[in-house]
Amino acid sequence: GAVVSQHPSWVICKSGTSVKIECRSLDFQATTMFWYRQFPKQSLMLMATSNEGSKATYEQGVEKDKFLINHASLTLSTLTVTSAHPEDSSFYICSARLGVAGQPQHFGDGTRLSIL
Amino acid sequence: SQQGEEDPQALSIQEGENATMNCSYKTSINNLQWYRQNSGRGLVHLILIRSNEREKHSGRLRVTLDTSKKSSSLLITASRAADTASYFCATVSSSNTGKLIFGQGTTLQVKP
C-alpha cells in the first residue's frame, strides 16, 4: 500500500520548453505532497510543500513562477518547470504523506529532466 | 535547508558484515527517519524513531537515537548485496509543519 506514481520518469527537451511532472498517490488520499530536487550524488532539497486546494508553500530561494505547483485533487499534484533552461536539469522527486505531520513520506521514482 | 550530517559518506563492506551509518542534526526534533534510495530511484522509508525512544529494531535494521548528542545511527546486520544503496536520515523538527530535512547520505556498497 501507499504507492506514489511519478510521471514521466525521463524528459529530454530543448531550452525554453515548459515541462509538467505528475505525482499521483495511487491507493490513498494525500492532502500534502512534497517536491524535491536532487543533484548527482547529493541529498534531497525540499522545493515546496503542496497542499490540496490551496497554494503551495515554497522554500526560500525557490522561484514560484519558475516552478508552478498545482494540487487540484487529493491524489494528484503537478510540478511545471516553466521555460526550462540547462541549469534546471536535475532529478525531481515527489512524495506524499499518508497521515499527519511528521509521519513517513512515500516517494515517487523521480523524474530525470535534461534540458538541452 | 539541510541540517543533517552523515558519516561515513561512503562505505564498502563484504556480504555478511555489519554496516553502521551515523547521522547528526542541529535542532530539536519530533522524530528521525531513515530512508533508502537505490540508484536513480525514489526513496523508501525504512524506520521512524520518536524523540522519546532510544532504540528501535526492524528485521536486520537497528536504529539508535541520542537526543542529548543530537545523533542517530543505523545498523544493518548480516548485509546482503541487495542492501547496496544510499541511506539518508531525515528529521522532523519540533517546530515545523512536518517537513523532512535530509542528511547528506551514506552510500553503501556490499560486495558479494
Question: How many CA atoms lie within 13 Å of A56's alpha carbon, on the beta-carbon side?
Answer: 26
Confirm or reject contact between A24 and chain B (CB < 8 A): no
- The phi and psi torsions of A86 (rounded to 5 degrees) equal -50, -35
Question: Nearest CB to B98: which of A45, A97, A110?
Answer: A97
Whether B4 and B103 have beta carbons less than 8 Å apart is answered as yes
- Asked if pLDDT for residue B112 goes beyond 90, the answer is yes
- Tens digit of each residue's pLDDT (9 = 90 or more) over B4-48: 688 899 999 999 999 999 999 998 999 999 999 999 999 999 999
For B46, residues 6+ apart whose C-beta sits below 8 A from its C-beta are B33, B34, B35, B36, B58, B61, B74, B87
Confirm or reject contact between A102 and chain B (CB < 8 A): yes
Question: CA of A6, closest CA in chain B: separation in Å?
Answer: 10
Q: Which three cell numbers stand for residue B52?
A: 522519546
Question: Nearest CB to B42: which of A42, A43, A107?
Answer: A107
- Tens digit of each residue's pLDDT (9 = 90 or more) over B36-94: 999 999 999 999 999 999 999 999 999 999 999 999 999 999 999 999 999 999 999 87
